[in-house]
A and B are shown apart, each in its own frame.
Chain A
Amino acid sequence: MTSPYADPAETDDLGLAVDPDAPVLEVEDLRVEFATDDGPVTAVDGLSFRLHPNETLGIVGESGSGKSVTSMAILGLLPSTARVSGSIRNRGQELVGLKERQLRPLRGNKIAMVFQDALASLNPVHRVGAQIAEAISVHRSDLTGADLDARVVELLDVVGIPDPAARARQYPHEYSGGMRQRAMIAMAIANEPDVLIADEPTTALDVTIQAQVLEVMERIRDRTESSVMIITHDLGVVAGVADRVMVMYAGRTCEVADVESTFYEPAHPYTQGLLGSLPRLDSRSSDRLARIVGNPPSLLALPPGCAFHPRCPHAEVPGRCSDERPELRDLPGGHRVACHRSEEIEWRPQEAEAEGAAVHDVEEVE
Chain B
Amino acid sequence: MTAVAAGSGTGAADLPAPPEAPPRSQWQLFRRRFLHHKLAVFGLIVIVILYVLVFGASFWVPNDPLEQDVLLGTQPPSGEHWFGTDQLGRDYFARVIYAGQISLKIGLAVAIISTVVGALAGAIAGFFGGLVDQILMRVTDLFLIVPAIAILAIALKKFGGTDIVIILVLAGLGWMSIARVVRGQVLSVKEKEFVEAARAIGASNGRIIFRHILPNCIGPIVVNATLAIAIAIVTESTLSFLGFGVQKPDTSWGNMLYDAKGNVRFDEHLLYFPGLFILITVLCVNFVGDGLRDAFDPQSRR
Binding site for B on A (CB under 8 A): 75, 77, 104-109, 112-113, 115, 117, 120-127, 134-135, 138-139, 157-164, 166-167, 169-171, 173-174, 182, 184, 187-188, 190, 208, 211-212, 214-216, 219, 223, 240
Asked if A215 and B23 sit within 8 Å, CB to CB, the answer is: no
Asked if B11 and A157 sit within 8 Å, CB to CB, the answer is: yes
Assess A123 versus B196: contact at CB under 8 Å? Given A105-B202, A161-B11, A164-B11. no
Residue of B11, B26, B203 near A134 (CB, 8 A) is: B203
Asked if B201 and A167 sit within 8 Å, CB to CB, the answer is: no
Stretch at the interface among B91-99, B118-126, B210-218: B210-218
Binding site for A on B (CB under 8 A): 1-6, 8-13, 15-18, 20, 22-23, 25-26, 192-194, 196-204, 207, 211-212, 215-216, 218, 298-299
Sampled A-B contacts (21; CB under 8 Å): A75-B200, A77-B199, A109-B202, A112-B201, A113-B197, A120-B193, A122-B194, A124-B299, A125-B298, A126-B215, A134-B211, A157-B10, A160-B8, A162-B18, A164-B11, A169-B25, A174-B23, A184-B197, A212-B2, A215-B5, A219-B8
Chain B residues within an 8 Å CB radius of A170: 18, 23
7 shortest A-B CB distances, which residue pairs? Answer: A108-B201, A160-B5, A120-B193, A107-B202, A121-B197, A108-B202, A135-B201
CB distance from A260 to the nearest CB of B (A): 18
Determine chain B's interface SS by DSSP, over half rule. loop
Residue of A134, A167, A171 near B298 (CB, 8 A) is: A171
Asked if B203 and A174 sit within 8 Å, CB to CB, the answer is: no
CB distance from A225 to the nearest CB of B (A): 14
Assess A115 versus B193: contact at CB under 8 Å? Given A77-B199, A125-B215, A211-B1. yes
Asked if B298 and A138 sit within 8 Å, CB to CB, the answer is: no
Q: Give the residue among A117, A135, A214 with the most B Cβ atoms within 10 A.
A: A135
Residue of A160, A169, A171 near B6 (CB, 8 A) is: A160
Asked if A108 and B2 sit within 8 Å, CB to CB, the answer is: no
- Expressed in whole angstroms, the Cα–Cα distance for A158 and B216 within the complex equals 29
CB distance from B182 to the nearest CB of A (A): 15
- Expressed in whole angstroms, the Cα–Cα distance for A120 and B193 within the complex equals 5
Assess A166 versus B18: contact at CB under 8 Å? Given A107-B200, A115-B196. yes
CB distance from B181 to the nearest CB of A (A): 18
Asked if A104 and B196 sit within 8 Å, CB to CB, the answer is: no
Residue of A77, A127, A138, A160 near B26 (CB, 8 A) is: A127
Chain B residues within an 8 Å CB radius of A240: 1
A171's nearest neighbour on chain B, judged by CB, is B298
- Expressed in whole angstroms, the Cα–Cα distance for A212 and B200 within the complex equals 24
Asked if A120 and B194 sit within 8 Å, CB to CB, the answer is: yes
- Expressed in whole angstroms, the Cα–Cα distance for A240 and B2 within the complex equals 12
Asked if B4 and A187 sit within 8 Å, CB to CB, the answer is: no
Asked if A173 and B15 sit within 8 Å, CB to CB, the answer is: no
Asked if A162 and B298 sit within 8 Å, CB to CB, the answer is: no
B218's nearest neighbour on chain A, judged by CB, is A125
Asked if A124 and B298 sit within 8 Å, CB to CB, the answer is: yes
Chain A residues within an 8 Å CB radius of B9: 157-158
Asked if B8 and A77 sit within 8 Å, CB to CB, the answer is: no
Residue of B2, B16, B201 near A107 (CB, 8 A) is: B201
CB distance from B9 to the nearest CB of A (A): 7
CB distance from A135 to the nearest CB of B (A): 4
Asked if B15 and A106 sit within 8 Å, CB to CB, the answer is: no
Chain A residues within an 8 Å CB radius of B23: 166-167, 169-170, 174
Chain B residues within an 8 Å CB radius of A124: 194, 216, 298-299
CB distance from A102 to the nearest CB of B (A): 11
Asked if B193 and A173 sit within 8 Å, CB to CB, the answer is: no
- Expressed in whole angstroms, the Cα–Cα distance for A75 and B5 within the complex equals 29
A104's nearest neighbour on chain B, judged by CB, is B202
A157's nearest neighbour on chain B, judged by CB, is B11
Asked if A125 and B216 sit within 8 Å, CB to CB, the answer is: yes
- Expressed in whole angstroms, the Cα–Cα distance for A109 and B203 within the complex equals 11
Asked if A214 and B201 sit within 8 Å, CB to CB, the answer is: no
Besides A104-B204, A157-B10, A212-B5, 16 more A-B contacts (Cβ < 8 Å) are A115-B193, A121-B193, A121-B196, A122-B194, A123-B198, A125-B215, A125-B216, A126-B211, A134-B201, A134-B211, A157-B11, A160-B8, A161-B12, A167-B23, A182-B5, A208-B2
CB distance from A206 to the nearest CB of B (A): 13
CB distance from B68 to the nearest CB of A (A): 55
CB distance from A240 to the nearest CB of B (A): 6
Chain A residues within an 8 Å CB radius of B192: 120
Chain B residues within an 8 Å CB radius of A108: 200-203
- Expressed in whole angstroms, the Cα–Cα distance for A188 and B197 within the complex equals 10
Residue of A138, A160, A184, A216 near B203 (CB, 8 A) is: A138
Asked if B5 and A216 sit within 8 Å, CB to CB, the answer is: yes
A124's nearest neighbour on chain B, judged by CB, is B298
Chain B residues within an 8 Å CB radius of A157: 8-11
CB distance from B17 to the nearest CB of A (A): 6
